[in-house]
Amino acid sequence: MTDNLLTVRNLRAGIEGKEILRGIDLTIRPGEVHAIMGPNGSGKSTLSGVLAGDPRFTVTGGEAIFHGVDLLALSPADRSHEGLFLSFQYPVEIPGVTMVNFMRAAVNAKRKYLGEAPMSAADFLKLMRQKRAIVELDNKLASRSVNEGFSGGEKKRNEIFQMAVLEPCLSILDETDSGLDIDALRIVAGGVNKLRTDKNATIVITHYQRLLDYIKPDFVHILYKGRIVYSGGPELALELEEKGYDWIKEEVDKQ
């Protein structure tokens, strides 16, 4: 059990008094890719937000242990420093803060947390150059404000670029495929695959099987009405693609 990367037990959370997650259990080990699928409103984005520390959500019960650390007790920044990464469904535009200043602040904040000295300017630029290549991100975007004026594809590539720089041990990709054309999808998924090792793990949150053609999951979970109602192997995603969510809904609602 101790080598679990993330153990979520009976996690409950809501927004403005409305309960959305109604007891989530999930165990993730290093090297694994988990897909979380489910119909609209099932709580997929709430789960990713709660794990990352989004202040909009209130945790009402349960726990999340992240390589031995009580994740829910940490600030969002410290969760990041501990190795959690959330790729946003809707990356936020930050006018006036350049990508390069944003990334420098992020990198050096983590180094400070780990007791390391700030990175030298030369090393930092080299790191940026290396990581940009992973998702073929244009150098020009570095001097622009964070996500401002980026196309949908650029925003998602930018997320994976940040993931590459921060080298998390657990990445949550929240609807990373939404708003992507097939070429951008291939680049983004390719980036994720390049970053996979047997030490880190990925949670892929998605509506559709499509992304899973590129990022192969080891486990597929179906979230419905705030609970994981079904777990299986990769074949479950194919079954969903074929039959839709209705059969799951019927089965669960019957109970």
Partner 1 sequence: MKAAQSFGQYLALWVDNEALRQGVPEPLATLNSAGAEALPALIEAYRAPKDVPRACAADELFAPDYGVNLAHHDMHASVAEAFHCGVPNLNSHLVVVANDVVHVSAPLRDEAPAGLKVYSLRSLPSEYVGRAGELLALHSADNVAVAMNSLLLGDGIYIRVEPGVTVERPVQIVNIFHSDMPMLSSRRVVVDAGEGASLRVLLCDHSQGAGVQHLNNQVVQVHAAPHASVDLYDIEESSADTHRLNQLFTHQEHDSRVVVSPTFLHGGVTANHYGLNLTGDHAEAEVTGLAICADKQQVANNVVLRHDCEHSTSRQLFKYALYDEARGSFGGKVVVEHGARFTDASQTNRNILVSEKARMDASPQLEIYCDEVKASHGATTGQLDERALFYMQARGIPADEAERMLTQAFMADVVDNIGYEVLRQRMHVLVEKRLAGASASCETCASADCSKYTRQ
Residues lying near partner 1 in the complex (CB under 8 A): 52-55, 75-77, 79-81, 85-86, 88, 91-97, 101-102, 105-106, 109-110, 113, 143, 145-146, 162, 166
Positive/negative CA dihedral, 13, 18, 21, 22: positive
Query: Which tokens go with 130?
Result: 């290396």
Quote the radius of gyration of the chain (alpha carbons, Å): 18
Q: Which residues have CB under 8 Å from 121's CB, separation 6+? A: none
Instruction: Give the shortest CB-181-to-partner 1 separation in angstroms.
Output: 24
Q: Per DSSP, which regions of 88-225 are E strands?
A: 94-98, 145-146, 170-174, 201-206, 219-224
- When the beta carbons of 166 and 212 are compared against partner 1, the nearer one is 166
Q: Least Å distance between CB 199 and partner 1?
A: 19
Q: How far is the CB of 64 from partner 1 (least distance, A)?
A: 15
Nearest distance from C-beta of residue 51 to partner 1, angstroms: 10
Residue 52 CB: number of other CB atoms within 10 A? 19
142 vs 248 by CB, closer to partner 1: 142
Instruction: Give 165's DSSP letter.
Output: H
Decide whether 97 or 252 has the Cβ nearer to partner 1.
Answer: 97
Closer Cβ to partner 1, 140 or 254, answer by number: 140
